[in-house]
């Protein structure tokens, strides 16, 4: 094993219909990003429970990234608003547990957003690595 | 959530994908890591998990070793989730006790640059899959009864044609039209391309046919007031005059159409100068004119068509292209030449999009001597009036942006389609989403083009976006067939991935019902208290209700706390990958064995082992037809078993050589 935290570990929540296919496409096109990125796909980003996010940090993840559908969400136009609320609640939980709120990020990832996803992962990896120091 | 019984006899299958995975991920070590996980009794490497031979082996394992859950670590679930759910079903276990782990798109391919770390990640993904499946529950599809009837909203050509199709397939149809007459915009149109039949006669003949079919009830001057219920059992309240009717239907087709774009005052001189009219106004003028084309008591000798009015606005509201307007404008110009003599036509366009068969119109128009001038969005033509004439200034892109002045009698603004001004009324009642362009949205533009996210509500025709008449009717007919596929059976099966309430923990605060877009959560009395209850037929399983619950009393099937947190635990476990393994990864276990592959592949591989060959050479040597060789070779290429190795002397055929097949076993 490499030295601990040489690559910050990131948990991504994606969505079955939109952002997960976008992430798949990055692989399909061999667009590389950090291999310490792990993805859990859900029906919609507005269904993420803050307790899962806290659980990830407690289990040693360095960052959580929400690959949301944004305004493309087919379930509800309120999706961005509700997802934002989940992030805010999670940040409160994170602060209570001494975790920097900068360790959670969100961006809309579309079903063909292969490059944007990879570059979000690269940026977030860099930001988390700097936070570590 | 209550403590669940964990699965204890799990089978794990790790796919090589013919090198796509095993070239980068050490699949042998993955198999050993999986084998040591709690509850795993079978752990295997397979060349192609999706191959028929492996599916059979999985069924044998499930039945022979009494497995209660399975995990396949291979490609994206978008490809084979249903393949393996079916394997589970065929073997006699619940299809939802199956988890697909994506170690190809999201691992071996994404991290082919760092194979060792790809192996570490794959181990985490596989462990997460095992944890998830360990907590998975057996789920049964939800059965709802269905009414053999459909409501079609909008009696334009799309709605009428779909109504006829639905009736002929055996459905009772209620066709609801807001206006006094049927046929929509098409009923006002004259001669149409290709058949020369008039819009009026098309709309008329559809109405005649509808009148003859007793199972279609047409309501004109009627509006949809309220819709309740769900797939299979919608209740639609329709207001006609002073009466409100309550209709029962299994499904609903929305075919409400479009509005023509109405130029703003002063847009290219519209409603500022008398000779500036829109394309629909111009069509009417052509149809209603006798032998000479007269507008405002003036004989028209020259016409300028300005294209893309209100459409393709980089900064404006309508960013889309309206598809039909180029063709309609050019067709109108042809009609003018056919009906009236000596009229000069100028086409001031941005791009001409007479796609498909309509291209012949463009060709004919050029032959007729119509003059085409190209302008750019940022330098649009300027219309002014000088005396009796309209004068247009244009910078023509085709002649190095030369500024030109045209004098014309008439300016036709080629306007496209916009969403109906009342589009929100219907989307509000049916809860169907609209896109940024405000047209109604399908689930997937390519794969599910007429379904909406609301089960049982379909869209057809131009309410979905600009379409010509054939395209509108095509989409409406496809929706009709989809509807019939649902209503033809007395019961409909729905996916059981929906919200569930833990009644013991629920204290009814109403927050879940408040965020639910589908009105799927209602109060229920249970255990002597009020709790939340989920309507199985209307719940979409989006999960919005879960995080808002202060008591954490709601989850979505397949996405429970135990499953998600179990996955996170699986990712978090320490992974030890032994050093020498990386080198061996490419060949898997002693090279790729061919026993699971078709006989033809083996013969091709044996032949290519001696030296690279072209397709005709292989066909000759193996005495098989070249098409068969091509098909099999391309599949082998897809699985990275062979690769191209230069062209032959005639530069016609590629040589192919073996790629990952190191030891061909015959």
Model pLDDT for residues B337-369, shown as the tens digit of each residue? 999 989 999 999 999 999 999 999 999 999 999
Buried residues in B467-503 as b, exposed as e (16+ CB within 10 A): bbbebbbbbbbbbbebbbebbeeeebebebbbbbbbe
Residue A107's CATH number: 3.40.50
User: What local confidence, expressed as pLDDT, does residue A132 receive?
Assistant: 65
* Interface predicted TM-score (ipTM) of this complex, two decimals: 0.96
Token code pair at residue B514: 């408040």
Token code pair at residue B111: 């991290």
Percent of the residues in chain B that have a pLDDT greater than 90, as a whole number: 74
Mean pLDDT of chain B: 91
pLDDT tens for residues A87-103? 999 999 999 999 999 99
For each of the domains in chain B, give its residue range(s) and CATH number, in order of start.
Answer: 10-139 (3.40.50), 149-257+420-491 (3.50.50.60), 261-416 (3.50.50.60), 496-557 (3.30.70.20), 599-658 (1.10.10.10)
User: What local confidence, expressed as pLDDT, does residue A70 receive?
Assistant: 84
On whether any CB of chain B is under 8 Å from the CB of A36, the answer is: yes
How many C-beta atoms lie closer than 10 Å to residue B604's C-beta? 27
Decide if B347 contacts B330 (C-beta within 8 A).
Answer: yes
pLDDT tens for residues B516-526? 988 899 999 98
A14 lies in some domain: yes
Check pLDDT > 50 for residue B26. Answer: yes
Check pLDDT > 90 for residue B576. Answer: no
User: What local confidence, expressed as pLDDT, does residue B585 receive?
Assistant: 41
Percent of the residues in chain A that have a pLDDT greater than 70, as a whole number: 95
A3 lies in some domain: no
Q: Which of B529, B418, B423, B395 is nearest to B466 (CA)?
A: B418
Check pLDDT > 70 for residue A11. Answer: yes
A93 lies in some domain: yes
Token code pair at residue B484: 């019939």
pLDDT tens for residues B419-432? 999 999 998 899 88
pLDDT tens for residues B547-557? 999 999 999 99
User: What local confidence, expressed as pLDDT, does residue B626 receive?
Assistant: 77
Average pLDDT rounded to a whole number, residues B448-472: 94
- Chain A: residue nearest B435 by CA? A72
A5 lies in some domain: no
Average pLDDT rounded to a whole number, residues B529-553: 94
Number of domains in chain A: 1
pLDDT tens for residues B69-113? 999 999 999 888 989 999 999 999 999 999 999 999 999 999 999
Check pLDDT > 60 for residue B584. Answer: no
Check pLDDT > 70 for residue B46. Answer: yes
User: What local confidence, expressed as pLDDT, does residue A5 receive?
Assistant: 53
The reply to whether residue A46 touches residue B542, judged by beta carbons under 8 angstroms, is yes
Place of tokens 């063709």: B327
pLDDT tens for residues B622-663? 888 777 787 778 778 877 788 888 888 777 788 888 887 654
The reply to whether residue B117 touches residue A36, judged by beta carbons under 8 angstroms, is yes
Percent of the residues in chain B that have a pLDDT greater than 70, as a whole number: 95
A105 lies in some domain: yes
A90 lies in some domain: yes
On whether any CB of chain B is under 8 Å from the CB of A53, the answer is: no
More confident residue, B592 or B315: B315
Average pLDDT rounded to a whole number, residues B254-259: 98
Phi/psi region, residue B519 (left: phi>0; alpha: psi -120 to 50; beta: rest), is left
Does an H or E element contain B477, and which? helix B469-487
Chain A residues touching B110 at Cβ < 8 A: 26-27, 30-33, 35
How many C-beta atoms lie closer than 10 Å to residue A122's C-beta? 14
Q: Residue B243's beta-bridge partner residues?
A: B240
The reply to whether residue A26 touches residue B110, judged by beta carbons under 8 angstroms, is yes
On whether any CB of chain B is under 8 Å from the CB of A121, the answer is: no
B294 confidence band (pLDDT: 50, 70, 90): very high
User: What local confidence, expressed as pLDDT, does residue B605 receive?
Assistant: 87
**Residues near B292 by Cβ (< 8 Å), separated by ≥ 6?**
B299, B340
User: What local confidence, expressed as pLDDT, does residue B4 receive?
Assistant: 62
Q: What distance lies between CA B544 and its chain's CA centroid?
A: 23
- Determine the Cα–Cα distance for residues B11 and A89; give it in Å rounded to an integer: 38
A81 lies in some domain: yes
User: What local confidence, expressed as pLDDT, does residue B138 receive?
Assistant: 95
pLDDT tens for residues B118-158? 999 999 999 999 999 999 999 998 888 999 999 999 999 99
- Determine the Cα–Cα distance for residues B136 and B121; give it in Å rounded to an integer: 22
On whether any CB of chain B is under 8 Å from the CB of A48, the answer is: yes
Query: Who among A17, A37, A74 is closest to B441 (CB)?
Result: A74
A2 lies in some domain: no
Chain A residues touching B127 at Cβ < 8 A: none
On whether any CB of chain B is under 8 Å from the CB of A109, the answer is: no
B486 confidence band (pLDDT: 50, 70, 90): very high
Which residues form the domain of A103?
10-132
């Amino acid at each position: 094993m490499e030295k601990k935290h040489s690559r910050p570990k990131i948990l991504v929540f994606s969505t079955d219909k939109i952002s997960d296919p976008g992430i798949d496409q990055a692989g399909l096109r061999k667009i590389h990003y950090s291999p310490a990125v792990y993805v859990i796909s859900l029906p919609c980003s507005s269904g993420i429970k803050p307790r899962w996010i806290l659980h990830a940090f407690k289990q040693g993840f360095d960052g959580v990234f929400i690959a949301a559908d944004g305004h493309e969400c087919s379930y509800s136009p309120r999706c961005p608003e509700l997802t934002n609320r989940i992030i805010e609640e999670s940040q409160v939980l994170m602060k209570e547990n001494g975790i920097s709120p900068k360790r959670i990020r969100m961006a809309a990832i579309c079903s063909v957003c292969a490059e944007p996803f990879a570059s979000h992962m690269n940026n977030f990896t860099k930001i988390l690595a700097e936070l570590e120091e | 959530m209550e403590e669940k019984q964990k699965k204890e006899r799990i089978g794990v299958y790790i796919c090589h994908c013919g090198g796509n995975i095993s070239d980068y991920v050490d699949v042998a070590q993955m198999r050993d890591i999986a084998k040591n996980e709690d509850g795993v009794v079978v752990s295997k490497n397979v060349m192609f998990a999706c191959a028929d031979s492996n599916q059979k082996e999985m069924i044998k394992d499930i039945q022979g070793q009494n497995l209660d859950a399975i995990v396949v670590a291979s490609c994206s679930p978008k490809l084979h989730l249903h393949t393996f759910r079916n394997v589970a079903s065929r073997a006699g276990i619940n299809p939802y006790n199956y988890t697909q782990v994506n170690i190809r798109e999201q691992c071996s391919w994404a991290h082919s640059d760092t194979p060792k770390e790809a192996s570490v990640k794959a181990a985490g993904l596989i462990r997460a899959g095992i944890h998830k499946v360990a907590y998975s529950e057996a789920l049964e599809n939800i059965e709802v009864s269905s009414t053999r009837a459909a409501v079609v909203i909008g009696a334009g050509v799309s709605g009428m044609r779909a109504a006829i199709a639905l009736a002929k397939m055996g459905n009772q149809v209620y066709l609801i039209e807001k206006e006094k007459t049927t046929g929509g915009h098409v009923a006002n149109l004259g001669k149409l391309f290709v058949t020369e039949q008039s819009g009026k006669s098309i709309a008329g003949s559809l109405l005649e046919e509808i009148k003859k079919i007793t199972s279609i009830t047409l309501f004109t001057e009627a509006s949809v007031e309220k819709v309740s219920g769900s797939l299979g059992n919608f209740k639609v309240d329709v207001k006609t005059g002073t009466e409100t009717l309550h209709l029962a239907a299994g499904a609903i087709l929305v075919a409400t159409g479009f509005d023509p774009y109405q130029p703003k005052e002063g847009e290219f001189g519209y409603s500022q100068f008398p000779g500036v009219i829109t394309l629909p106004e111009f069509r009417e003028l052509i149809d209603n004119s006798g032998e000479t084309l007269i507008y405002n008591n003036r004989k028209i000798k020259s016409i300028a068509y300005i294209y893309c009015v209100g459409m393709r606005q980089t900064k404006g509201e309508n960013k889309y292209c309206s598809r039909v307007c180029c063709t309609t404008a050019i067709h109108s110009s042809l009609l003018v030449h056919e009906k009236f003599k000596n009229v000069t036509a100028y086409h001031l366009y941005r791009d001409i999009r007479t796609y498909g068969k309509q291209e012949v119109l463009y060709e004919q128009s050029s032959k007729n001597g119509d003059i085409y001038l190209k302008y750019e969005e940022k330098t649009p033509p300027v219309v002014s009036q000088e005396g009796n004439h309209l004068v247009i200034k244009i910078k023509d892109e085709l002649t190095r942006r030369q500024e030109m002045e045209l004098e014309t009698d008439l300016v036709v603004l080629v306007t496209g389609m916009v969403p109906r001004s009342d589009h929100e009324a219907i989307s509000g009642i049916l809860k169907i989403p609209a896109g940024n362009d405000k047209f109604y949205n399908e689930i997937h533009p390519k794969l599910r083009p007429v379904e909406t996210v609301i089960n049982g509500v379909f869209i057809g025709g131009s309410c979905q976006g600009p379409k010509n008449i054939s395209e509108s009717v095509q989409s409406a007919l496809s929706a009709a067939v989809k509807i019939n596929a649902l209503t033809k059976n007395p019961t409909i099966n729905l996916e059981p991935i929906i919200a569930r309430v833990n009644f013991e923990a629920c204290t009814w605060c109403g927050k879940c019902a408040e965020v639910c877009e589908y009105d799927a959560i209602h109060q229920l009395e249970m255990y002597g208290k009020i709790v939340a209850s989920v309507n199985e037929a209307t719940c979409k399983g989006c999960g919005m209700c879960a995080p808002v619950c202060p008591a954490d009393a709601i989850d979505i099937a397949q996405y429970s706390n135990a499953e998600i947190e179990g996955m996170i635990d699986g990712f978090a476990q320490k992974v030890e990958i032994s050093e020498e393994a990386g080198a061996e990864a490419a060949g898997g276990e002693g090279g790729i064995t061919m026993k699971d592959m078709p006989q033809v592949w083996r013969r091709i591989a044996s032949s290519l082992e001696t030296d690279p060959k072209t397709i005709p050479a292989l066909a000759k040597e193996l005495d098989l037809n070249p098409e068969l060789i091509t098909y099999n070779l391309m599949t082998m290429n897809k699985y990275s078993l062979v690769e191209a190795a230069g062209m032959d002397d005639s530069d016609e055929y590629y040589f192919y050589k073996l790629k990952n097949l190191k030891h061909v076993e015959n």
